[in-house]
Amino acid sequence: MEVTLLPGERIDDLQRGGLKIIQSQNEFRFGTDAVILADYSAGRVGKKVVDIGTGTGVLPLLITARNPNTSFDAVEVSPKMADMARRSVLLNGLQDRIRVHTIDCRQAYTVLGNEQADSVVTNPPYHPEGTGLTSPEKGIALARGGDHACPVEDWVQASSRVLKYGGHVFFIYPAARMFALTNAMQKNRIEPKRIRLIAARTDDPPKLVIVEGIKGAHSGVQFLPVLFTHTADGQYSDEMLRIYGSEEKTESLEGEHIENRKDGV
């Protein structure tokens, strides 16, 4: 389906089943963290999934490419970002599977209902108030500047409100702030069950962490092997090449989206 592009926008190839995404040079563009989270969660989500803070809609697009049984409700507070996500859905003909809602994450339950989702996937804002870089562009600031727009405690509460008892939630977050995330999860009846740290190389400290939780579960967590994104000589690791599909695809995607990625890996 043809869609209208606004000034500064472009269509990028997601290298997944012909899927494409609309992005703008003036707004936040997805990075490696979203691709890693989509790969991790695609085979583990249920049929009815909520994406809290969808941005341009990359997580629903990437996950639907891998899992034909999912349907998404994608929540985004920025009207510009939500509009791009909505047009990307139309561009790919996925309007029957992905619905985009322009709403604050804290109000998601008022539209989606309480405890209706089988799974939640989310890439929360990374920086607590007063830290990190502030972008002059509002869309980028909302996506990166983070907790002052919606603190991580509120973000987790929003996820818990829409998630069924026994449902799974998938977060990707800075490793240095992992305990702020897991504490917020436990306060909201989500027990961390699987944790995977992400580092650039074997001699580097972890920069990111994936935390998978289950609402209402008993305590007990499994630590998965660390994901290293690069080899010692700076090339992408075998697992990253698998995640992207091939070296050629990796170069294509990463070349387009590295500028504003949140992960810093």
Average pLDDT of span 75-93: 97
Q: Count CA atoms within 13 Å of residue 35 on its CB side.
A: 25
What is the rounded distance in angstroms from the CA atom of residue 186 to the CA atom of residue 219?
A: 9
How confident is the model at residue 245, as a pLDDT?
Answer: 81
Instruction: Please state which of the ranges 56-65, 149-158, 179-188, 206-215 shows the lowest mean pLDDT.
Output: 149-158
Instruction: Report the SS3 class of residue 243.
Output: helix
pLDDT at 256 over 80: no
User: Could you please report the per-residue DSSP string of 106-120?
Assistant: GGHHHHH-TT-EEEE
Q: How confident is the model at residue 127 (pLDDT cuts 50, 70, 90)?
A: low
Q: Which residue in this structure is represented by tokens 């804002």? A: 125
Tokens of 177: 């702030």
CB-based contact 51:74 (threshold 8 Å):
yes
Domain extent listing, the chain: 9-257
pLDDT at 147 over 50: no
What is the rounded distance in angstroms from the CA atom of residue 188 to the CA atom of residue 186?
A: 5
Q: How confident is the model at residue 129 (pLDDT cuts 50, 70, 90)?
A: very low
The architecture that CATH gives domain 9-257 is 3-Layer(aba) Sandwich (3.40)
Q: How confident is the model at residue 235 (pLDDT cuts 50, 70, 90)?
A: very high
Instruction: Report the SS3 class of residue 47.
Output: coil
pLDDT at 182 over 70: yes
